[in-house]
Amino acid sequence: MVSILLFPGQGAQKVGMGKDLAETFPAARETFEAIDAALGESLTRLMWEGPEERLQLTEHAQPAMLAHSAAVLAVAGDRLEPVAAAGHSLGEYTAYVAAGALSVLEAAKLVRMRGELMRDAGERRPGAMAAVLGLASSAVEEACQAASDASEVAVAANLNAPDQTVISGDPAAVRRAGEACKAVGAKRVLPLKVSGAFHSPLMAPAASGLRAALAEAHFRDPRFPVVANASATAVRTAAEARRLLAEQLTSPVRWVECLQQLAALAPEARFVELGPGTVLGGLLKRSLPGAQYTSLGTAAELEGFLA
């Protein structure tokens, strides 16, 4: 089955994630054990036993999501016949693992550092995020511009679907932008529980630290194109991967454009989401109606796929 691989980002983590994979598939169990060893702690114990509030912390949620997706990837292997990939925010790191551009252990260390840097940036300058539903992204961007001034900023951070955009920035500016969105027809504006203003200019300190870590990481040219969040273009070199992963922290996740680019690269391929939940499948349905889609996140789903 020729596939386009999709890897979810932070938000779908929950206690118990991946335990059925480790109990069913040796390759998944070995992946989890290797990531635990690389991080120097039992991430899997936190994933499987909690506590929930600790798992939800950015510095734990990000490597947990990568570990789950990487375990699925280790089991499904070449049966997927991937021709392109993308990941939402931190999921982009797993996409590079799938494309052979980055080892899973180095990716786990990078996303742990990324989560810590994002947490620290959020502590230095507290931010907020909110999901705007039922309004075109262009109208959301206009609302953000109107809500921003010299001291406070709001931006469209995640362009997730034609009618779903996440805004990010200083809390007061995000509130003003949300109110402006409701005034011009947004169905709902939902505040998100996050530790900072991700994918906004407030993440500049985190991007600086991450850029230095990416420069030291061992990247290779990907075996197949990975479509980057920050540019919505196909990345084919290690240098591009490094640059765009650093830019990603302060740039919007251009997910609708990413999906369109993936579909253009491989029109006949099936989209396959690897990881917990089906969030990206829902966004795919709203962005590219009729696209072929499969979810691989549980042991049962993988057993059905491999049968």
The residues annotated as belonging to the active site are: 89, 199
DSSP per-residue letters across 94-154? HHHHHTTSS-HHHHHHHHHHHHHHHHHHHHHS--EEEEEESS-HHHHHHHHHHH--SS--E
How big, in percent rounded to 5, are the helix, strand and coil portions of the chain?
A: 55, 15, 30
Residues pairing with 294 in the sheet:
272
Q: Please provide the DSSP assignment of 62-80 as one string.
A: HHHHHHHHHHHHHHHGGGG
Phi-psi region of 254 (alpha: psi -120 to 50; beta: other; left: phi over 0): beta
State the Cα–Cα distance between residues 254 and 260, nearest whole angstrom: 10
The identity of residue 306, as a single letter, is L
C-alpha distance across the termini of the chain, in Å: 13
Q: How far is CA 235 from the centre of its chain?
A: 16
